Amino acid sequence: MNILIKNVNIVDESHSFYGDLYIENGKIKEIGLDIKRECETIDGNGLTLMPSFIDMHVHFRDPGFTYKEDIETGSRAALRGGFTYVNLMANTNPICSSLEVLEYVNNKAKEIGLIDLHQCLSITKDFDGKTLTPLKELAGNKLIKAISDDGKGVMGSRTMMDAMNIALENNWVVISHAEDHEFSDIDMRLAENMMTWRDISLAKYTGAKLHMAHVSTKEAMEYIVEAKSNGYSNITLEVTPHHIALNTEISNYRVNPPIREEEDRRFLIDAIKKGYVDAIGTDHAPHSKEDKEKGAPGMVGLETAFSISYTTLVKENNLSLNNLSKLMSGRPGEILGIKKGKLTPGYDGDVVLVDLNKKTKVNSEEFASKSKNTPFEGMEYYGEVVTTIKGGKISYKR
């Protein structure tokens, strides 16, 4: 599919200039000035063209909980937020501990054909915390890039070490939900900090690729910064838009890990500005109104991620737009080993047009997601996703 975007501000982690970008047969073919092609053409005057976003941490609830979300509605929510690739967690029903569930998700995504995705395999069978048969039985399977027991975590240290060794052999990323359940009912801060320290220690020992999900405390971030500063490049991390935009004075909305103190929020932002953070991961967690009223933790995030991150990091804290692109596109693409996330010839023609000057009010009734659970209702942010293009085809237009 061919498309030419002209007269636009072109920004990724290494580009920042005014010009044109041409996509041919679904791949970025040319970037430059005054490009002329006989094909569909978009005038991007007044807009900014960026690589579409890649989310390391998403729940689509399919199979098993499709009253909350399914692959089609989740994909439409992703496109509305500027995402064309998401990494799905394994806490479905049944849990993704088998080739059958892996193939179901992948085949359904291909059938729907809206975005690309990766489905994580669970670390332990049905999240039992001890049985590693899924990893052993599916070793070498090309569908798998990452494994995780997200939503629960792996309590046994020896089990986690053995899982890391299997992951190392298969070049898989181990995504850690850092929560020590022995401390969850005492102090959720301690629960996150204890498990973060443990998993970093195991990653140092094994050499496996470890990705720390939804880092939220100052102490957990300090452990990761120390490891990175000492050369452990196998350790990566994400933070969520809600943990950098909210604190306990603003919101007590129930998410896991919880909204933290202002000191934590500031520390996360400082770590981003110093280059220690690898990704913005939404932890898009759809729930029905009834489930939220019963106390289910989580919020939807795909459709608000860019505007919240842009406003909080770029407008309020002077992060460059190049660095935001690296967090939302370039680095996640590298971690997952895909040719997306950069405006480079040969990369997938997945791009997004945004209006950085447009201020919008969050209205969950406009969401494409089935679920409307957000603490940002009625709040105003800059940066509107205008058009999402996947493989050279317009897949969403505001």
Q: Give the pLDDT confidence of 132-153 residue by residue, as tens digits.
A: 999 999 999 999 999 999 999 9
Per-residue pLDDT reduced to its tens digit, 218-247: 999 999 999 999 999 999 999 999 999 999
242 sits in the region (left: phi over 0; alpha: psi -120 to 50; else beta) called alpha
Q: Is 15 annotated among the ligand-binding residues? A: no
Q: Is 298 annotated among the ligand-binding residues? A: yes
The DSSP code for 339 is S
DSSP 102-134: HHHHHHHHHHH-SSEEEEPBPSSGGG-SS--HH
Residue type, 3: I
Closest by Cα among 182, 192, 184 to 220: 192
**Would you state the structure tokens that stand for residue 287, as one six-digit string?**
């729930």
At which residue do the structure tokens 């690309």 appear? 116
Say if CB 81 and CB 306 are below 8 A apart.
yes
Query: Mean of the pLDDT values across residues 100-119?
Result: 98
pLDDT band at residue 61 using 50, 70 and 90 as cut-offs: very high
Is the whole model's pTM more than 0.95, yes or no? yes
The confidence score (pLDDT) of residue 226 equals 98
Query: Mean of the pLDDT values across residues 62-70?
Result: 98
Closest by Cα among 244, 243, 211 to 227: 211
DSSP 4-20: EEEEEEEESSS-EEEEE
Q: Is 297 annotated among the ligand-binding residues? A: yes
Taking 90 as the threshold, does the pLDDT of residue 86 lie above it? yes
The confidence score (pLDDT) of residue 311 equals 98
Q: What are phi and psi of 310, to 5 degrees?
A: -65, -45
Rounded CA gap, 145 and 202, in Å? 20
Task: List the domains of the chain with CATH numbers.
Answer: 2-49+350-397 (2.30.40.10), 51-347 (3.20.20.140)
pLDDT band at residue 1 using 50, 70 and 90 as cut-offs: confident
**6, 50, 176 from 157: Cα distances, Å:** 54, 41, 12
Rounded CA gap, 67 and 223, in Å? 38
Say if CB 88 and CB 108 are below 8 A apart.
no
Rounded CA gap, 387 and 110, in Å? 22
Q: Are strands 48-51 and 351-361 parallel, antiparallel or unpaired?
A: antiparallel
Radius of gyration of the chain (CA): 20
DSSP 26-45: TEEEEEESS---SSEEEE-T
Per-residue pLDDT reduced to its tens digit, 348-384: 999 999 999 999 999 999 999 999 999 999 999 999 9
Q: Is 59 annotated among the ligand-binding residues? A: yes
Rounded CA gap, 270 and 276, in Å? 9
Q: Is 243 annotated among the ligand-binding residues? A: no
Closest by Cα among 388, 395, 383 to 353: 388
**3, 31, 50, 322, 348 from 345: Cα distances, Å:** 14, 8, 14, 18, 8
Per-residue pLDDT reduced to its tens digit, 294-324: 999 999 999 999 999 999 999 999 999 999 9
Q: Are strands 16-24 and 3-11 parallel, antiparallel or unpaired?
A: antiparallel
Closest by Cα among 324, 321, 307 to 382: 307
Catalytic, 283? Answer yes
The confidence score (pLDDT) of residue 222 equals 98
Q: Is 57 annotated among the ligand-binding residues? A: yes
DSSP 41-89: EEE-TT-EEEEPEEEEEE---TTT-TTT--HHHHHHHHHHTTEEEEEE-
CA atoms within 13 A on the CB side of 187: 6
Say if CB 16 and CB 292 are below 8 A apart.
no
pLDDT band at residue 100 using 50, 70 and 90 as cut-offs: very high
Could you say which of 199, 283, 348, 350 is catalytic?
A: 283
